[in-house]
């Protein structure tokens, strides 16, 4: 109940009772209540004239990192004897030192500086403003305001280092890199033999072949090593990534995306990223450290979204021409087969890194007979789906997320898979 | 500091009103007041502070009743003051929730100073009224009472408009 109204009602009752009984002592009881109301009016806050400024020790941190937020409030109006300040924290940020709430007095023309330290989970965390409630000391009169003090903290995903991811796309770019191209030239691995051309190094002359021919010399050709176009698609469909009790496999997918993109960019490839989630967004392909920063930024902001199907997923041809390699990181659903088949039909090479949702979810469930049965059925369904994908020429890595991604990458992605060689032989 | 004073004010208010009512033959009323006091304490301990206004309202009415029945003026005055103190501190304690200790202490001392001022002036006024005796006509008394009601209404209107 409103405090002023309650006091007013009580005062009226006491005064009316005093008049009705013609008793001065009864009327006297109203005196403390009236004085209490007057005290509220005496030092009631005037119009709020405050400004707030926010500064942060860092604007981007790695997971587990801490950031100090400093707020400076300036009072351009009359003195405020009690001000409640509250800086609402974005979800997934927690205060580890200090407080995001204060109760202070600010003199006229004075300022108040306050700091606190937070840490948080991966994501882009936005601060909007400071809630201010000024009141008299007895809390009867209140004035509220929301002071604009915007700010953003980016908590980057954890860095996972994978030494080498071996890919053999059908098409490479003109720049030299680490990926064996489908062309002879300078390189390390033997590619073939061709007729000697002026300018060929004598060391490259294949004397054995040349000896069998009359008046013709032959030179060895080596496989050129180039860079490739790689598109990484991170699947952030809510239904596939989030399980009961807010368990999420999406963080594992993000870690895999970090590892894959970092490794491929380090080898000079042109890498782009598409996050299919809350805000589906392409990070256009690029090279080097700058592109790594862009991808890390996009991955920091990646959130799961409600879209349940891959229907709206299109690979822009101007960014990734057919024959490019597309790496899909997804727990996969049965309906995805059609889309992946269509991508293969359009000529894309596909590598699917699939965090296993069955083993992930079953870890959090009691091991009852029904759970085990359900687990077996789901595992069979998944195995069937993965087998069908392999049949259409998709390289699938089934990743049990209890095993670190580095280990999985080392055992399954560090050497080119047999299917890659067979595909390339077909092209030749 | 707020919490002990708040608990003490609830205990003093409840026990004072209960004992006074009990000694004057209002046993059932005394039991009811004691129960309300216990309910206030229990609700406060479980963090349900929303009903403090209701108990404050009831205790103030009981204080009014004691004055009207001419049982004891000072008990009634102490009852309404401690009930007001407990109700005020309930709201203040709620406001202090989540506030760091470095802010709590200065705010507590400022709040208690203001309360001491209000209660001191109120008590002084009531004590002074015991010594001053003026005989007035019923018409004048009615006019003064109506003026005081108008004054309280104007005060509340200003408070509501500025808040």
**Same domain? A220 vs A209:** yes
- A309 in any annotated domain: yes
Copy the structure tokens of residue A415: 């050497």
Q: How far is CA A134 from CA A52, A104, A114, in A?
A: 15, 9, 17
**Same domain? A104 vs A143:** yes
Question: B52-56, B75-79, B138-142: which range is least confident on average?
Answer: B138-142
**Same domain? A271 vs A192:** no
- Domain ends where: A226, A253, A287? A226
Cβ-based neighbours of B158, under 8 Å, separated by 6 or more: A41
A198 and B CB contact within 8 Å? no
Residues of B in contact with A102 (CB under 8 A): 99-100, 103
Q: How far is CA A428 from CA A172, A225, A417, A421, B138, in A?
A: 14, 16, 18, 11, 118
- A84 in any annotated domain: yes
Choice between B70 and B57, residue whose per-residue pLDDT is larger: B57
CB-based contact A83:A134 (threshold 8 Å): yes
Q: What is the mean pLDDT of chain A?
A: 83
**Same domain? A408 vs A301:** yes
**Same domain? A300 vs A393:** yes
The tens digit of pLDDT for each residue in B124-133 reads 888 887 777 7
By C-alpha distance, which of B99, B84, B120, B101 is closest to B5?
B84
Report the percentage of chain A scoring pLDDT > 70: 89
Q: Which of residues 32-91 of A touch B (CB under 8 A)?
A: 32-41, 44, 81-82, 84
Nearest CA in chain B to A21: B68
A5 and B CB contact within 8 Å? yes
Chain A: closest CA distance from residue B148 (Å)? 8
A227 and B CB contact within 8 Å? no
- pLDDT, position A425: 44
**A237 pLDDT more than 70:** yes
Q: What angle do CA B85, B91, B94 make, to 5 degrees?
A: 135
**A2 pLDDT more than 50:** yes
Question: B41-45, B84-88, B89-93: which range is least confident on average?
Answer: B41-45
Question: A22-31, A89-98, A134-143, A367-376: which range is least confident on average?
Answer: A22-31
By C-alpha distance, which of B57, B34, B41, B35 is closest to B9?
B41
User: Model pTM greater than 0.80?
Assistant: no
**CA A75 – CA A83 distance, rounded (Å):** 11
Copy the structure tokens of residue A187: 């390189």
Copy the structure tokens of residue A29: 């009881």
Copy the structure tokens of residue A287: 């090279």
Average pLDDT over every residue of A33-41? 86
Q: Taking the CA of residue A240 as centre, how many other CA atoms within 13 Å lie in the half-sphere pointing to its CB?
A: 27
- pLDDT, position A421: 52
- pLDDT, position A427: 39
- Domain ends where: A102, A123, A155? A155
The answer to whether the CB atoms of A17 and B77 lie below 8 A apart is no
**A89 pLDDT more than 80:** yes
Question: A215-229, A345-359, B115-129: which range is least confident on average?
Answer: A215-229
CB-based contact B131:A131 (threshold 8 Å): no
**Same domain? A337 vs A196:** no
Average pLDDT over every residue of A396-406? 89
CB-based contact B124:A5 (threshold 8 Å): no
Residue with tokens 């502070």: B49
If one counts the domains in chain A, the total is: 4
- A165 in any annotated domain: no
Average pLDDT over every residue of A266-271? 84
- A167 in any annotated domain: no
**CA A11 – CA A5 distance, rounded (Å):** 10
Average pLDDT over every residue of B55-71? 86
The answer to whether the CB atoms of A28 and B126 lie below 8 A apart is yes
- A217 in any annotated domain: yes
Nearest CA in chain A to B123: A32
- pLDDT, position A102: 92
Looking up residue A334, the CATH number of its domain turns out to be 3.40.50
Chain A: closest CA distance from residue B27 (Å)? 23
**CA A62 – CA A122 distance, rounded (Å):** 8
- pLDDT, position B113: 92
A28 and B CB contact within 8 Å? yes
**CA A172 – CA A183 distance, rounded (Å):** 10
The answer to whether the CB atoms of B81 and A32 lie below 8 A apart is yes
**B58 pLDDT more than 70:** yes
DSSP lists the bridge partners of residue A235 as A276
**CB count in 10 Å sphere of residue B82:** 23
B122 and A CB contact within 8 Å? yes
Best of B60, B66, B124 to disrupt the A interface by mutation (most A CBs within 10 Å)? B60
Phi first, then psi, for residue A120 (nearest 5°) are: -160, 180
Average pLDDT over every residue of B112-122? 90
- pLDDT, position A256: 92
Q: What is the DSSP string of A298-326?
A: HHHH---BS---STT----TTTS-TT-EE
**Same domain? A268 vs A188:** no
B139 and A CB contact within 8 Å? no
Copy the structure tokens of residue B54: 């209701």
**Same domain? A410 vs A302:** yes
B149 and A CB contact within 8 Å? yes
Question: A55-64, A292-301, A317-326, B49-58: which range is least confident on average?
Answer: A317-326
**A68 pLDDT more than 50:** yes
The answer to whether the CB atoms of A13 and B64 lie below 8 A apart is yes
**CA A393 – CA A294 distance, rounded (Å):** 31
Residues of B in contact with A84 (CB under 8 A): 95
Q: Which of residues 29-88 of B touch A (CB under 8 A)?
A: 53, 56-57, 60-61, 63-64, 67-68, 73, 76-77, 80-81, 84, 88
- pLDDT, position A38: 86
**Same domain? A126 vs A37:** no
**Same domain? A184 vs A294:** no
Average pLDDT over every residue of A72-80? 89
8-state DSSP, B100: -
- Identity of the residue in A22, A38, A101 whose CB atom sits nearest the CB atom of B99: A101
- The three-state secondary structure class of A128 is strand
By C-alpha distance, which of B134, B24, B66 is closest to A24?
B134
The answer to whether the CB atoms of B138 and A1 lie below 8 A apart is no
Q: How far is CA A83 from CA A78, A112, A129, in A?
A: 12, 11, 15
Give this complex's ipTM.
Answer: 0.88
Average pLDDT over every residue of A66-95? 89
Looking up residue A62, the CATH number of its domain turns out to be 2.60.40.10
**Same domain? A350 vs A307:** yes
**Same domain? A131 vs A238:** no
**CA B155 – CA B150 distance, rounded (Å):** 9
The answer to whether the CB atoms of B158 and A41 lie below 8 A apart is yes
Domain span at A216:
176-226
By C-alpha distance, which of A214, A138, A81, A168 is closest to A349?
A168
**CA A164 – CA A178 distance, rounded (Å):** 10
B131 and A CB contact within 8 Å? no
């Amino acid at each position: 109940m409103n405090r002023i109204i309650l006091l007013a009602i009580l005062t009226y009752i006491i005064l009316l009772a005093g008049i009705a009984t013609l008793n001065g002592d009864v009327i006297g009881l109203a005196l403390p209540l009236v004085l209490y109301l007057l005290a509220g009016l005496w030092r009631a806050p005037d119009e709020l004239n405050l400004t707030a400024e926010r500064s942060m020790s860092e604007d981007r941190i790695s997971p587990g990192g801490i950031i100090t937020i400093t707020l400076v409030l300036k009072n351009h109006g009359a003195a405020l004897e009690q001000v409640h300040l509250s800086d609402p924290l974005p979800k997934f940020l927690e205060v580890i030192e200090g407080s995001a709430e204060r109760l202070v007095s600010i003199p006229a023309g004075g300022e108040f500086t306050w700091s606190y330290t937070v840490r948080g989970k991966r994501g882009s965390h936005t601060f909007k403003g400071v809630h201010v409630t000024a009141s008299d000391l007895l809390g009867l009169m209140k004035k509220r305001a929301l002071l604009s003090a915007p700010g953003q903290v980016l908590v980057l995903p954890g860095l996972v280092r994978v030494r080498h991811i071996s890919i053999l796309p059908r098409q490479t770019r003109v720049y030299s890199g680490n990926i064996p191209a489908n062309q002879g030239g300078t390189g390390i691995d033997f590619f073939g033999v061709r007729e000697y051309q002026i300018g060929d190094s004598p060391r490259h002359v294949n004397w054995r072949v040349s000896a069998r021919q009359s008046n013709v010399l032959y030179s060895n050709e080596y496989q050129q090593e180039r860079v490739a176009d790689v598109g990484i698609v991170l699947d952030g469909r809510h239904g596939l990534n989030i399980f009961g009790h807010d368990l999420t496999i999406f963080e594992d997918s993000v870690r895999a995306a970090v590892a894959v993109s970092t490794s491929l960019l380090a080898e000079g490839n042109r890498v782009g990223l598409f996050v299919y989630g809350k805000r589906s967004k392409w990070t256009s392909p690029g090279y080097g450290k700058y592109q790594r920063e862009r991808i890390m930024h996009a991955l920091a902001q990646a959130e799961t979204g409600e879209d349940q199907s891959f229907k709206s997923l299109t690979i822009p041809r101007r960014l990734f021409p057919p024959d490019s390699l597309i790496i899909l990181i997804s727990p996969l659903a049965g309906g995805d087969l059609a889309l992946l088949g269509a991508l293969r039909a359009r000529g894309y090479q596909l590598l699917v890194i699939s965090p296993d949702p069955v083993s992930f979810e079953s870890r959090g469930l009691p091991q009852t007979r029904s759970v085990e049965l359900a687990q077996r059925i789901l595992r069979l369904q998944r195995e069937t789906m993965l087998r069908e994908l392999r049949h259409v020429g998709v390289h699938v890595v089934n990743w049990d997320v209890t095993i670190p991604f580095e280990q999985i990458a080392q055992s399954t992605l560090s050497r080119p898979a047999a299917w890659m060689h067979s595909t390339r032989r077909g092209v030749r | 500091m707020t919490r002990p004073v708040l608990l003490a004010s609830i205990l003093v208010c409840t026990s004072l009103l209960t004992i006074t009512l009990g000694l004057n033959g209002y046993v059932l009323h005394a039991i009811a007041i004691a129960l309300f006091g216990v309910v206030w304490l229990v609700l406060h301990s479980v963090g349900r502070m929303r009903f403090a206004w209701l108990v404050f309202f009831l205790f103030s009415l009981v204080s009014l009743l004691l004055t009207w029945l001419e049982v004891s003026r000072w008990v009634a005055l102490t009852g309404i003051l401690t009930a007001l103190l407990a109700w005020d501190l309930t709201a203040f304690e709620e406001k202090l929730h989540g506030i760091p200790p470095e802010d709590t202490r200065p705010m507590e001392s400022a709040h208690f100073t203001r309360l001491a001022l209000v209660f001191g002036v109120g008590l002084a006024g009531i004590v002074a009224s015991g010594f001053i005796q003026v005989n007035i006509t019923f018409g004048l008394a009615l006019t003064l009472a109506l003026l005081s009601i108008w004054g309280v209404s104007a005060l509340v209107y200003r408070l509501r408009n500025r808040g």
